[in-house]
Amino acid sequence: MKNIITLLLIASIAKGQRMNDDSKHFYAGLGISVGVSALLYDLTDNNKLSISIGFVSGVGAGVLKEYWWDKHLQRGTFSKEDLYTTMWGSLTSIPILISIRDFKKRKEINIDTNKYYNLNEK
């Protein structure tokens, strides 16, 4: 028990808990794409449209951040690698969203409950 507590304390204090810049850009692209896609899917029920607009919004956010915020306004350091990482996060959202929505469609099984209502009664 003491070893487990010691390991948990070391893990919470260690610098490995801090997220590096590439991870932030990846998760920002992923989060923006998934969030926009989820909102549009709730509004339109169109899977292809919501995924494509979600992807474009994630890529657009990365492009605007790198070119407008970093390069034009000079409030950060411009980096093409950060832009590519944000795009990769947006691209990663596509198969995740497709598989989640496909799973939800497969999970919906329509059972006629009236047919099986009086099975126990004779």
Q: What are 18-52's pLDDT values in tens digits? A: 778 889 999 999 999 999 999 999 899 888 999 99
Per the structure block, which two tokens stand in for 116? Answer: 């099986």
Q: Domain limits at 76?
A: 21-121
Most confident of 8-22, 38-52, 99-113: 38-52
9 occurs within a structural domain? no
Q: What is the pLDDT of residue 120?
A: 61
Q: Taking the complete model, does pTM exceed 0.75, yes or no? A: no
HSE, side-chain direction, 13 A CA sphere, residue 99: 5
What's the residue count for the chain? 122
Within-domain flag for 31: yes
The verdict on residue 4 lying in a domain is no
Q: Would you state the pLDDT for residue 39?
A: 92
Mean predicted confidence (pLDDT) in 95-117: 72
